Structures are given as structure tokens and as C-alpha cells.
Amino acid sequence: MPTAPREYFVNANRSAISQHDRALLGMPAAQDVSAERAALGDAPPTSLLGLSRLKDLVAVGEVRLKDESDRFGLGSFKALGGSYAVVMMLRTLISADLCRPVTVDDLIRDPVVRSAAASKTITCASAGNHGLSVVAGAKKFGAQSVVWLSNDVPDTFAVRLERLGAVVRRAGSDYRESEEAARSAARVHGWHLLADSSWAGYTRWPLEVMRGYTTLAVEAAAQWERSNVSRPSHVFVQAGVGGLAASVAAYLRDRWGEDFCFVVVEPVRAACLLASAKVGEPTRVEGGLTDLGRLDCPDPSLLAFEQLGHLADVFMTITDDDAAAAATFLKPEISLSACGAAGAAGLMVSASDPELAHATALDSSSRVLLIGTERAL
Ligand SMILES: Cc1ncc(COP(=O)(O)O)c(C=O)c1O
């Protein structure tokens, strides 16, 4: 298949963060997540790396990358989302069963609560990483998990999921088909669906997944602020359904305001957020094969689009080759997959294209924050 051309779109519907956005994913919501994590005893922060070679290559003032390549030993930022949503889901379900509040501590120690957790089955579709996070969360509290993978998800993910204790099922040729299989299995078996995407009538658990991601934005903001460099002027974040980009955008807009340029980076063959931004509503794209498997999502998450549709400044696409080149360039500093380096690819493409550099107001004084979302596979 010939490579589709890159494109970009300057958001015509940009507006400031609202109280509603804040309530969903702003600083108070992120603080609640941090409190739950403290009760869980979750692992220490990941690093914010200074990337001086990339800074010189793209001729800007500063580039720093939040390194999520080994979050909780699971290999991607997704470790933050699904596992957190499992906690919130189990607390809610078991509270309803036992007619009393259930805390994180109860989930860890109370035998009655643990036995109730063991009777729950949580199911999800995954391109790999969301499943690993859900299964790790379910395992921690003794719940069961069933993960649906489309046939194009590498076997290495199936093996890792099974090692963690999941039942793995294959369904369909793309993410959408595996998602339909997970939804139908949840209906038929009375399992609990924990998707990382959201749609009309299904937003509660994906919101918790997205809240889980805010942890990396909280850490990155604090790490950046501790340095003597002014706050970022640019943030480039790669997107599949948009959950990560939306939670980072909402949290950082709440913390840092409206002045920095937020850029959403998608593969040319799965640019559902760019297409949605153009028409002003969630829009499905036809897509096609891409090497950027975890970003290969034809439908945006409804919640994510509600945030990014007005909080992002620019939507842009990159090719598979752009992402591979970024991963190769970054190798001396950090070993990322092409998906993991896709935000960096967005920066590299923007810097090399005068029109895009102008659209994103990128220049030699720019200070750029990136997220390395996944280790090399
Ligand atoms: C490594 C990696 N990067 C980025 C993303 C994009 O996240 P989202 O689908 O929330 O936009 C994913 C999604 O699975 C991923 O696995």
C-alpha cells in the first residue's frame, strides 16, 4: 500500500479548559488518583530525560522526554490506567455486593472483600498494553481477566498476558473487531467490561483509565518545575483513541494554563482524532495497515475527543517511517518502540517542515515535552 501523505490541522475550536474538564481530569482529580496510589504503595516515579542530541537536531531550546518505557515493569505508560481502573471498578462492585464502602486497604487485606474480588471477571480488548495493565490489576486483587486481541497483535503480547494470568482470546482482524468481541462476551457472560476507549453510554470506566494516566503528567510537571528551565512551550503526544493525550492535555492546561502548544500526533493511516477535529465530532476513519500497532485505532474515544477537540492546538500525522526514524535516533539515550517514539517523530517532522513549524510556533527558543510511551518490543 502506498504511504498516505502527512497532514496537519490547526484546531479551529480551541477554547480554554472548563470547570467540567477540570472535574474530569484536572488537578483535583489527579490528586485523588495520587492518594489511591499512595494507599496501594505503587512504585516510584519514572524519569524525565533531557534529550540534548534531539534538541540540537531540531534546533530548539530544550527537549525532555517522560520515560514510560518501564512503568511498573510492564513496558508502557498503559500500566498506569487499566490497573488503576480495576481498583476503582472492584471497589464499586464489591461495595454494592456487601452494602458497605470498600477501601483499597480492604481490597488488599480483607478476606471477605478478596473472596468477592475472586468471583469477578474483568474483560477488555487490547492492542497489547491496556490488557497487560488490566490483568496486572486484576491479579493483584485475585480477580479473573479475559483479554481479547485482534489477529494482528503480536504473539509476544499474548504470551506476556498469559504469563500474568489472563485468559487470552483472539477475535477479528483489527482493534474494532476485538472490542466488539469483548463487549459481546461481557454481555453474554455477565463479565465486567473495562475498555480504554469510550462511547455514548459507556464512559465511567474509561474515565478512570484516563485518570490513571494523569499520574505521569503530575510527575512530569513536578520534575520539569524543579529544574531551572521555564515551563514547556510545546507538548507533543502520540494518540490511538486519544485517552493519553486527553488526560495529559487536561491536566497540564489546568496546571500550566493555555499558553503552551499541545500537538496530537497520529499515524497517517489511523488519524481519527484529526478527522474528528476537522468536522467537530467523533469520526471513524477507514485506516489501513500501519506498523504503529498500538496507535492503529479507527475510532476516537468519546471522552478523549471531548477534551482534545478544544484543548489541543494542532493535530498532525506521521508515517511509519517517521516513527521508526525517531526510535532509531533516540536509541543511544533510550530504547523505545516506534509507537513509543511517535511523539518525538511529531517534533522531528514539525521542525523539518517550515509550514508546520509555523503552525506550531516552533522555534529556537521552544521548550518541548515528549512522552516515551513504550519500550522497544
Ligand atoms: C505504546 C502506546 N503509546 C500510545 C498509545 C495511545 O494511547 P491512547 O489509545 O490512549 O491514545 C498506546 C495505546 O495503546 C500505546 O500502547
Give the domain range for residue 365. Answer: 8-76+206-372
* Phi then psi dihedrals of residue 123, to 5 deg: -130, 150
Same domain for 298 and 357, yes or no, is yes
Domain end (from 143, 167, 195): 195
pLDDT range class, residue 220, cuts 50, 70, 90: very high
Same domain for 59 and 129, yes or no, is no
Report which ligand 1 atom has the smallest distance to the Cα of 297: 9
For position 167, what pLDDT does the model report? 97
For position 330, what pLDDT does the model report? 98
Overall average pLDDT of the 156-176 stretch: 94
pLDDT range class, residue 130, cuts 50, 70, 90: very high
Same domain for 219 and 103, yes or no, is no
Tell me how many degrees the CA angle 73-342-355 measures, rounded to the nearest 5. 155
Nearest residue to 70 via CA among 45, 33, 50:
45
Whether residue 240 contacts residue 297, with contact meaning beta carbons closer than 8 Å, is answered with yes
Overall average pLDDT of the 235-249 stretch: 98
pLDDT range class, residue 288, cuts 50, 70, 90: low
Per-residue pLDDT of 305-333, as tens digits, reads: 999 999 999 999 999 999 999 999 999 99
C-alpha 175/C-alpha 81 separation (Å) is: 18
Establish whether residue 130 lines the binding site of ligand 1, counting it when its CB lies within 6 angstroms of any ligand atom: yes
For position 2, what pLDDT does the model report? 56
Measured by CA distance, the residue closest to atom 16 of ligand 1 is: 294
Q: Is the pLDDT of residue 376 over 60?
A: yes
Whether residue 320 lies inside any domain: the answer is yes
Distance from the CA of 59 to the center of ligand 1, in angstroms? Answer: 27
The total number of structural domains in the chain stands at 2
pTM for the complete prediction? Answer: 0.97
CA distances to 64, 126, 209, 248, 277 from 221, in Å: 11, 29, 20, 10, 26
Establish whether residue 240 lines the binding site of ligand 1, counting it when its CB lies within 6 angstroms of any ligand atom: yes
C-alpha 375/C-alpha 76 separation (Å) is: 6
For a pocket test of ligand 1, which of 71, 238, 302 has the largest count of ligand atoms closer than 8 A to its C-beta? 238
Domain end (from 166, 195, 224): 195
Same domain for 182 and 252, yes or no, is no
Whether residue 1 lies inside any domain: the answer is no
Per-residue pLDDT of 333-349, as tens digits, reads: 999 999 999 999 999 99
Residue 349: give its domain's CATH number.
3.40.50.1100
Domain end (from 167, 195, 223): 195
Whether residue 258 lies inside any domain: the answer is yes
For position 296, what pLDDT does the model report? 84
Same domain for 218 and 300, yes or no, is yes
Distance from the CA of 118 to the center of ligand 1, in angstroms? Answer: 29
C-alpha 229/C-alpha 62 separation (Å) is: 8
For position 157, what pLDDT does the model report? 93
Q: Whose grid coordinates read 508502557?
A: 76
Same domain for 298 and 318, yes or no, is yes
Q: Which residues contact 183 (CB under 8 A, 6 or more apart)?
A: 193, 195
Same domain for 186 and 276, yes or no, is no
Distance from the CA of 96 to the center of ligand 1, in angstroms? Answer: 32
Establish whether residue 232 lines the binding site of ligand 1, counting it when its CB lies within 6 angstroms of any ligand atom: no
For position 42, what pLDDT does the model report? 74
Measured by CA distance, the residue closest to atom 3 of ligand 1 is: 373
In percent, the amount of the chain with pLDDT more than 70 equals 98
In percent, the amount of the chain with pLDDT more than 90 equals 90
Averaged pLDDT of the chain: 96
Establish whether residue 374 lines the binding site of ligand 1, counting it when its CB lies within 6 angstroms of any ligand atom: yes
Same domain for 119 and 177, yes or no, is yes
Distance from the CA of 241 to the center of ligand 1, in angstroms? Answer: 7
In this structure, what C-alpha cell is assigned to residue 30? 489527579
pLDDT range class, residue 1, cuts 50, 70, 90: low
Report which ligand 1 atom has the smallest distance to the Cα of 337: 1
Overall average pLDDT of the 122-140 stretch: 95
